[in-house]
Each structure stands twice: as structure tokens, then as C-alpha cells.
């Protein structure tokens, strides 16, 4: 099939432009370049996904990574590592904040909200600058140039995109931008007089609109529960809380209350907890001081331990990680016959790799009795076991069939010599007794055999019938020998 030159060029152009469609729908939506008061850690940039599909940004400095540019390009840091909140996905119609200090944004004056906060080492000039968003293809997805004359200059407002222009209004991180510029309320009489002096007495112009917005009370207490984390089911995990004021100073003599999202609670700034079942849990730290109370929430993902614990013949141990991510086994214990070795701090096993601990490091020989324990002493694996391995159930061996004794054989005595007629009745009685005795012996023999043997019963019944028949035959023969014949 032949393709014309024009069509080939068109396909090539489409091939080059299609990868940029997703990033082109992400725009710079709001810029806080000069917060009121101290700027340190309080500058941020809001991105907005105008498209109908989610967009995933790439962090780091490798190929395909996104960057935010001020006077230089800055990389992004994945919030899954504990700095920031949320994820790298900007949902359709959703917002993401790029902040120099995510903690300041999450727990500071903008506490609350569900939008993602990603760390980037931005530094926004207070007099003017061009901010650029560079996608994974190195293409500038959007840019914005500002000057201090546009507003947002140390007056508590931010610069917000409004259609094709920008305005200065009270900050709206994670929500829709303001529709109108912010006009501060008139609170000083001299300011009111100065405003009136600028309006001619004859003028019928309507007075400038006055906003009814009343800013909320400035929070003085903040809570920090740390970052989101992934833990191992059954393993103790330490949670560290922090209470601080607006000057970032630690606040003492406050109450720390933890709710781990699995029905368990604890008190104190530093607590230890373990999850019994896999899942994602919302752990909440609440800090109370007098009448003030603030909270901070983190997401804890509990996963089952996916390890293999082998004991080679050279006395070492080998711990294999197949959890799909790096694992920190700091404080875990290798125990054997009363001796133990505790893994030091920052003992991380890379995904898919094996940590081999030699015998000279353990200071004892491993063997079949060696085990791997959680830091709290609970056994994780025995020697040469792996988590999730199926355990074979022994199949019961059927007991041998009970042996059946052969049926006893009864011998029939030969017929006795003829006896006088006078003894017939006596012989008959004796025969009857003999018959009854023979039948009783047969029944006793049958009772001695297991009831499970049908064949034995059939044999016993046959022998009984033969014995009875023999007795009757003998009686008839004897009776025939004593018949009286009269001669005429």
C-alpha cells in the first residue's frame, strides 16, 4: 500500500503532537508569590487540569520528568515518600499545589482540603517573574508572567487566573478561583475621608462595592502526624506526633490523641501500633490545648510480610524481599537457641533482593531452630520458610481391615449302636439335649466372631442347619430299628 508524501507528513505531525495533548490540558491557575509577612516556605503554585481525563506527572530528574520553572527548572518530589500529600495524578477538573514547604501549606493557614500537595524547590521573586510548567517531553505546557503591580504583593491575596486574564483575590487553594478582585473593607476613618475627597461633590457615581468577607481566626496551634506510610501487618510501627505554633516552635503540655482507623486509639506524642489485617487506614492525630483542638490525618497502608527466610549451611541467614517495594527491617530480630541478633537502624532490603547476614556478623551459627522475629518479639518466619507458602495437610492413612477368624467346623459323630426300646425315651431326651447344646455352641461361636463379617454368619447358619439335620436323621433311623412286626 502506498502512502502519499502529504499524508505521511500529516501522520508524522500527529505523532509528534499527540503526546502533548494530555499535558497541554494542565495550566497554571493560581500563584502565591509574596505572602503577607514572612515568605519562607509559604510560596506556592496551583495547577488545574482543564481536560476530561486524568494527567499523571513524573517526578525526579530522569527522562519524562516534569519541572516547574522560575529562574531555573525545579524537579518534583513524590508525596508517597512522606513529604507532601496525595499523589502525582491530577484528576480531570482537579487541582494540585506545588509548594516549597508542603507542611506549611497542609498544617498552616490553609489546613484542610483534599487536594494533592507536591514539594518543589520553587523561589518566586517578589517584584516579577515568569513561571513555566514543563511537561515530560520538555515542552512548556503553560507559563505566566507577573509583576508586583498586578497585586498579591504582601497584602494577603494571590494572583488567580480568570478567563484569559488574571486578578488579585483572597487565596483559593484547591477550589475554584474568585470571580472578582478582592477589595479590602474600609476600617479607618481617615481612609474613608480620603476616599470621599477624591469624589466630586456633584458626582452621582455609585460607591465602590465593599466585600462582606470576614477572614477566619488565624490558627495558633498546628498538628503534624508525619507523612503517609506503608507498614507490615503484625509489625509494630512507631508514630511520632508534633504540636507547634505559627513560629514553628514546639508546643508543650498539650494532649495527643491517636485514632489509627482500625478501632484502636492511643495517647501520647510517640506511640507504637500494629495492624492486624491488610488494608488502607486513615490515621488521625488530634491535639488539644485548652479550648483549641487541631487534627492531622495520614494514610497508612498495611501489607502482609512477603519474605523468605533461608538458613544456608555456612551458618549465615538470607532474607529475600518479594514485597514489590523496598522494605525497612530496622529492629527486626534473628533468634537462635537463646541467642539473638538485632538488625541495625536503616536496614533496608531492596525490592527483589536478598539480605545475606554472615555468621561472623550474627556471632552464632544458624540452624533449623533459627527464626526471624518482629521488633516486638513475635515470630515472623521459621528457618527455610516464606510468607504466604502453602502448608500441606497430611492425608490420613486408612487403618487396615480387621481380620476375620475362620468359622469353626463342626464334626458329626457316627450313628451309635441300637439300644433297647426301654431306653428310647431316655435317648430321645438326650438327643434333644444334645441338639440344644450343639445349637448353643454354634450361637456362642457366632457371637465370638466380629459382626462385621457377613460371610462368617452365613457359614455359621449353614453349619447349624447341617447339625440339626444330622440329629433329626439319627433319630429317625433309631426309631425305624425298633418297629414291631406282627406275624399272622
* Closest by Cα among 193, 190, 197, 195 to 208: 195
Predicted TM-score (pTM) of this structure: 0.39
What mean pLDDT comes out for the span 322-338? 91
**Residues 24, 157: one domain?**
yes
Cα–Cα dist 290/298, whole Å: 24
User: If you ran DSSP here, which 8-state letter would residue 422 be given?
Assistant: G
Mean pLDDT over 235-263 rounds to 91
- Same structural domain, 155 and 69: yes
Give residue-wise pLDDT tens across range 351-382: 999 999 999 999 999 999 999 999 988 899 99
Q: Is residue 343, in this structure, part of any structural domain at all? A: yes
Clarify whether residues 329 and 253 are in a common domain.
Answer: no
Pairwise CA distance, residues 282 & 261, whole Å = 5
What average pLDDT does range 454-468 have in this prediction? 75
The CATH number for 82's domain is: 2.60.40.1260
Section 94-122 average pLDDT: 85
pLDDT at residue 450 in the model? 45
Q: Do both 66 and 146 map to the same domain? A: yes
171 and 109 part of one domain? yes
pLDDT at residue 392 tops 80: no
CA distance 67 to 138: 9
In which band, very low, low, confident or very high, does the pLDDT at 145 lie, cut at 50, 70 and 90? very high
Predicted confidence at residue 398, as pLDDT, reads: 44
63 against 422, higher pLDDT = 63
Does 123 score more than 60 pLDDT?
Answer: yes
Sheet strand arrangement including 73-75: 73-75, 67-69, 128-134, 140-147
Does residue 33 sit in the same domain as residue 72? Answer: yes
Q: Is residue 160 included in any domain, yes or no? A: yes
Q: Is the predicted pLDDT of residue 486 greater than 60, yes or no?
A: no
Alpha carbons 172 and 316: distance in angstroms, whole number: 58
24-46 b/e with 16+ CB inside 10 Å = b? bbbbbbbbbbbbeeebebbbbbb
Residue after which a domain boundary falls, among 336, 361, 386: 386
pLDDT in tens, 72-106: 888 999 988 888 898 989 999 899 999 988 888 78
Residues contacting residue 91 through CB under 8 Å, at least 6 positions apart: 49, 54
Whether residue 35 lies inside any domain: the answer is: yes
Higher pLDDT residue, 408 or 246? 246
> Would you state the pLDDT for residue 189?
54
Looking at the fold, whether 50 and 168 belong to one and the same domain comes out as: yes
How many structural domains are present in the chain? 4
Q: Both 319 and 451 in a single domain?
A: no
Does the pLDDT value for residue 185 go beyond 70?
Answer: yes
* Model pLDDT for residues 10-38, shown as the tens digit of each residue: 555 554 444 455 666 899 999 999 998 88
Tell me, yes or no, whether 214 lies in a domain. no
pLDDT of the residue at 292: 76
C-beta of residue 265 within 8 angstroms of C-beta of residue 257: yes
- Can you give the pLDDT at residue 221? 86
CATH of the domain at 235: 2.60.40.10
**Residue 413 in domain:** no
Say whether both 447 and 349 belong to one domain: no
SS (H, E, C) 359-420: HHHHCCCCCCCCEEECCCCCEEEECCEECCCCCCCCCCCCCCCCCCCCCCCCCCCCCCCCCC
Question: Tell me, what's the pLDDT at 446?
Answer: 42
User: If 0-12 CB within 10 Å is exposed, 13-18 middle and 19+ buried, where does residue 452 land?
Assistant: exposed
Of these ranges, 207-216, 311-320, 385-394, 456-465, the one predicted with the greatest mean pLDDT is 311-320
Give the lowest-confidence range in 19-28, 168-177, 385-394, 459-468: 385-394
Collapsed DSSP state (helix, strand, coil) of residue 8: helix
Q: 154: which 3 cell numbers? A: 504582601
Q: Round the average pLDDT of the chain to a whole number and report it.
A: 78
Instruction: Please report the pLDDT score of residue 440 as a whole number.
Output: 47
Q: Give every CB contact of residue 230 below 8 A, 6+ residues apart in sequence.
A: 300, 301, 302, 303, 325
Q: 42-46, 60-64, 195-199: which has the minimum mean pLDDT?
A: 195-199
What mean pLDDT is predicted for residues 99-121?
83
**297 with 315, same domain?**
no
| 37 in any annotated domain | yes
- Find which of 173-187, 344-358, 463-477 is predicted with most confidence, using mean pLDDT: 344-358
Q: Which of 259, 281, 303 is the last residue of a domain?
A: 303
Residues 45 and 119 in one domain: yes
Average the pLDDT over 301-324 and give the result.
93
Tell me if 56 sits within 8 A of 94, measured CB to CB.
no
Give 421's pLDDT tier (boundaries 50, 70, 90): very low
Q: Provide the pLDDT confidence category of residue 46 given band limits of 50, 70 and 90.
A: very high
Which residue has better confidence, 292 or 24?
Answer: 292
User: What integer pLDDT is reported at residue 206 of this predicted model?
Assistant: 66
Residue 185: inside a domain, yes or no? no
> Is 70 exceeded by the pLDDT of residue 443?
no
User: Which of 260, 280, 303 delimits the end of a domain?
Assistant: 303
| Domain residue limits at 446 | 421-481
C-alpha span between 374 and 32 (Å, rounded): 46
374 assigned to some structural domain: yes
Q: Indicate whether 247 pLDDT > 90.
A: no
Confidence category of residue 210, pLDDT binned at 50, 70, 90: confident
Identify whether residues 298 and 251 lie together within a single domain. yes
- Highest mean pLDDT of the ranges 66-70, 218-222, 269-273, 438-442: 269-273
Amino acid at each position: 500500500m502506498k502512502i502519499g508524501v502529504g499524508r505521511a507528513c500529516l501522520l508524522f505531525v500527529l505523532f509528534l503532537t499527540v503526546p502533548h495533548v494530555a499535558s497541554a490540558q494542565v495550566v497554571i491557575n493560581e500563584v502565591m508569590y509574596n505572602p503577607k509577612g514572612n515568605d519562607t516556605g509559604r510560596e506556592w503554585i496551583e495547577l488545574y487540569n482543564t481536560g476530561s481525563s486524568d494527567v499523571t506527572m513524573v517526578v525526579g530528574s530522569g527522562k519524562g520528568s516534569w519541572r516547574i520553572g522560575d529562574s531555573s527548572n525545579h524537579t518534583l518530589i513524590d508525596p508517597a515518600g512522606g513529604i507532601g500529600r496525595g499523589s502525582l495524578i491530577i484528576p480531570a477538573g482537579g487541582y494540585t499545589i506545588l509548594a516549597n514547604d508542603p507542611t506549611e501549606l497542609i498544617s498552616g493557614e490553609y489546613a484542610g482540603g483534599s487536594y494533592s500537595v507536591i514539594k518543589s524547590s520553587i523561589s518566586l521573586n517578589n517584584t516579577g517573574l515568569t513561571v513555566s510548567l514543563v511537561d515530560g517531553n520538555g515542552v512548556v505546557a503553560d507559563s505566566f508572567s507577573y509583576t508586583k503591580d498586578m497585586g498579591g504583593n504582601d497584602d494577603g491575596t494571590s494572583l488567580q487566573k480568570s478567563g484569559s486574564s488574571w486578578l488579585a483575590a483572597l487565596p483559593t487553594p484547591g477550589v475554584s478561583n474568585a470571580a472578582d478582585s478582592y477589595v479590602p473593607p474600609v476600617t479607618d476613618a481617615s481612609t474613608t475621608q480620603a476616599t470621599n475627597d477624591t469624589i466630586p461633590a456633584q458626582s452621582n457615581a455609585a460607591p465602590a462595592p465593599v466585600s462582606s468577607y470576614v477572614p477566619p481566626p488565624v490558627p495558633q496551634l498546628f498538628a503534624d502526624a508525619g507523612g503517609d506510610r506503608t507498614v507490615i501487618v503484625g509489625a509494630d510501627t512507631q508514630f511520632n506526633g508534633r504540636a507547634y505554633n505559627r513560629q514553628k516552635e514546639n508546643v508543650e503540655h498539650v494532649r495527643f490523641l491517636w485514632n489509627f482507623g482500625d478501632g484502636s486509639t492511643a495517647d501520647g506524642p510517640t506511640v507504637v501500633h500494629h495492624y492486624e489485617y491488610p488494608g488502607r487506614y486513615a490515621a488521625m492525630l488530634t491535639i488539644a490545648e485548652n479550648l483549641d483542638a487541631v487534627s492531622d490525618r495520614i494514610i497508612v497502608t498495611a501489607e502482609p510480610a512477603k519474605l523468605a527466610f533461608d538458613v544456608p549451611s555456612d551458618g549465615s541467614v538470607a532474607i529475600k524481599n518479594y514485597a514489590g517495594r523496598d522494605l525497612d527491617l530496622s529492629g527486626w530480630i534473628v533468634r537462635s537457641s537463646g541467642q539473638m541478633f538485632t538488625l541495625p537502624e536503616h536496614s533496608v532490603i531492596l525490592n527483589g533482593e536478598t539480605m545475606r547476614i554472615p555468621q561472623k556478623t550474627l556471632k552464632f551459627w544458624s540452624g533449623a531452630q533459627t527464626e526471624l522475629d518482629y521488633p516486638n518479639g513475635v515470630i515472623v518466619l521459621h528457618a527455610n520458610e516464606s510468607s504466604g507458602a502453602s502448608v500441606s495437610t497430611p492425608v490420613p492413612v486408612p487403618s487396615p481391615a480387621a481380620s476375620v477368624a475362620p468359622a469353626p467346623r463342626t464334626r458329626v459323630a457316627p450313628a451309635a449302636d441300637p439300644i433297647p426300646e426301654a431306653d428310647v425315651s431316655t435317648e430321645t431326651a438326650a438327643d434333644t439335649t444334645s441338639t440344644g447344646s450343639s445349637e448353643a455352641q454354634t450361637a456362642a461361636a457366632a457371637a465370638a466372631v466380629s459382626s462385621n463379617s457377613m460371610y462368617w454368619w452365613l457359614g455359621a447358619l449353614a453349619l447349624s442347619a447341617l447339625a440339626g439335620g444330622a440329629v433329626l436323621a439319627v433319630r429317625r433311623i433309631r426309631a425305624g430299628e425298633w418297629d414291631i412286626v406282627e406275624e399272622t
